[in-house]
Amino acid sequence: MATKRGTWNYRKQFGEEFGRTYFRRFDPGVTSSIGIGTYLGAATDDADNRYYRALVDAIESGVNHLDTAINYRCQRSERVVGDAIADATVDRDAIVLATKGGFIPFDGEKPADPGEYITEEFIQNGTLDAASLARGCHALTPAFIDSMVDQSLRNLGVDDIDCYYVHNPETQLTVRSQTAVYEQLTAAFEQLERRCATGDIGGYGVASWNAFRVSPDHDSYLSLPRVVACAEAAADTVGVDECGFMAIQLPFSIQMSDAFTTMAHPDPAHRDDTAVQGDTTGIAQNQSIFDNNTNTDTETTTEVSALQYAQERGINVIASATLAQGDLTNRDAIPPAVDTELSGETPAQRAINFTRSAPGVTTALVGTGSPEHVSENVAAGTFDPLGAQAFDAIFE
C-alpha cells in the first residue's frame, strides 16, 4: 500500500525535477499529477514487453500513479503492471496503484466463444448469474466484485490495492432502472468497505465514461451526490467510522471537457435545511437514496459540474483519455486559441497540461504503451499548469 512516508520520500527524490504542484495530495500521501494508463494495446507478448519497459521507465522517472483494470488487454495489463512494480527500483509504498472491476475479463486472449467462456468461468461456479449481466459482459454483484478484487491482487502480485474502482456502472442502465443501479452500487460498496476494513484496498471509487459528465436527462446519467450517498450508506451498514469512497475517474481533455462544462450535479454548498444533519449530499430527511423521485437538490436549482462537485466534497478526480487516445498528439489538433495558453514543447505535453490545469483534477492519466513516449509525457510535468483564472478564461 502507498504510505505517507513512502510517497513523500518519492516526492523528495523527484520533486525538484518538476514544476509547481506536480505532486498533489492523495491520502495518505501524495501522487504525481501525471499517471500511466494501460487500456490501449493488443493482448500480445510484444505489447506486454513494451508496456513493461514504459512502466518501469515512468516509475523511475517521477510517475507514481499507475492505473489499470482487470479486463484491460485480457488481464495482461494488470499482470505487466505487477511485474513493473516488482522490478522497478522504487519501493511499493511509494506507488499509488489503482485498478477496476465490473467488466468480465478474458484470460490472456479473447476466447473463441466468449459466451461459453463466461458461462463456464463465472455462471456455472456461482460467481454471478445471467440475470445480473448487462450487455452480456458487465456485472456489479457483491460476489462478482469481491472475486475480481481477489483476482486483481493475484494478477498484480501485491498484498493490497490503493484505490479500487467500480468500472462503468452506467452500463447497467441499459437493462435496469436508475433505482436498481443505485441499489447495486450500495451493495457493491458494502463489499468494498469490508475489503477496506481488512486492508486489501485503501479506498474505492467509481470509474465512468459517461455517467458523471452528461446531463441528467441522458440515458447514461448517474447523480454523483447519490453515488456518494450510496457509499455513505454502505459505510454505515458495515459499521465503519470513515467512508472509503475516495475518487472518481472520468474522461477529461481538450476534446472532451464535459466534466467541467456540464452542470449536472446539485451543488453541495447550497443545500436546503431539510437535509439530514451531517449529510452533505443534499438528500432530504426520510427520502431514500434509491428513489428516482428523490430531489437530491432539495428545492435548490443550483447545479455544478462533476469536477466542481468532487472538489467541494474533497473527492479525488483522476482524468482518463487525456490525449483522446492519441488524437491530441497531432499537430493542429488543439485549437490555436487554447494552444497558445498552454505550456509544453509538444502537442502531447500541452494537452496533458490542459488536463492537469483543471480545478479539482488530481492526476491526468496518459496511456503509455510505448517506451519511446515516456520521457515526452513525463516532461510535461516540468511545466507549470495554468492557474484557476487562466483555465477558466479558456472557456469564456
pLDDT digits (tens, 9 = 90+) for 314-337: 999 999 999 998 899 998 999 999
* pLDDT > 80? residue 294: no
Split at pLDDT 50, 70, 90, the class of 283 is very low
Cell of 120: 463456464
Angle at 218 between CA 217 and CA 221, to 5 degrees: 100
Fold of 4-394: TIM Barrel (3.20.20)
Q: Mean pLDDT across the stretch 299-313?
A: 88
What DSSP letter does each residue of 224-284 carry, written as one string? HHHHHHHHHHHHHHHT-SS--EEEEEEE-SSS--HHHH---EE-TTS--TTBPTT--S-PB
User: pLDDT tens, 121-174?
Assistant: 999 999 999 999 999 999 999 999 999 999 999 999 999 999 999 999 999 999
Q: How far apart are CA 67 and CA 84, in angstroms?
A: 13
Q: What is the dihedral of CA 345, 48, 137, 121, to 10 degrees?
A: -160
Strand partners, 164: 99, 204
| pLDDT above 70: percentage of residues in the chain | 92
Phi-psi map region of 27: left, alpha, beta (phi>0 left; psi -120 to 50 alpha): beta
pLDDT at position 288 is: 52
Q: Mean pLDDT across the stretch 23-43?
A: 98
Split at pLDDT 50, 70, 90, the class of 301 is low
Q: Mean pLDDT across the stretch 286-310?
A: 67
What is the rounded radius of gyration, in angstroms, for the C-alpha atoms of the chain?
Answer: 20
Kindly report the three-state secondary structure assignment for every residue of 85-123: HHHCCCCHHHCEEEEEECECCCCCCCCCCHHHHHHHHHH
* pLDDT > 70? residue 300: no
User: pLDDT tens, 325-370?
Assistant: 889 999 899 999 999 999 999 999 999 999 999 999 999 999 988 8
Q: How far apart are CA 230 and CA 123, in angstroms?
A: 27
Strand partners, 24: 31
* pLDDT > 50? residue 247: yes
Name the residue with cell 444533519: 277
Q: Mean pLDDT across the stretch 184-203?
A: 99
Angle at 211 between CA 28 and CA 200, to 5 degrees: 35
**End-to-end CA, the chain:** 42
Selected residue with higher pLDDT from 177 and 286? 177
Q: How far apart are CA 223 and CA 292, in angstroms?
A: 11
Q: Mean pLDDT across the stretch 169-183?
A: 98
| Contacts of 53 by beta carbon, 8 Å cutoff, 6+ apart | 371
pLDDT at position 396 is: 84
Alpha helices in the chain (DSSP H): 4-14, 45-59, 76-87, 114-118, 142-156, 178-197, 224-238, 258-261, 306-313, 336-339, 347-357, 371-379, 388-394
- Mutual angle of helices 45-59 and 76-87, in 10-degree steps: 40
CB 346 within 8 A of CB 333: no
pLDDT at position 363 is: 99
Q: Mean pLDDT across the stretch 18-26?
A: 97
Q: Mean pLDDT across the stretch 254-277?
A: 77
Angle at 235 between CA 173 and CA 275, to 5 degrees: 80
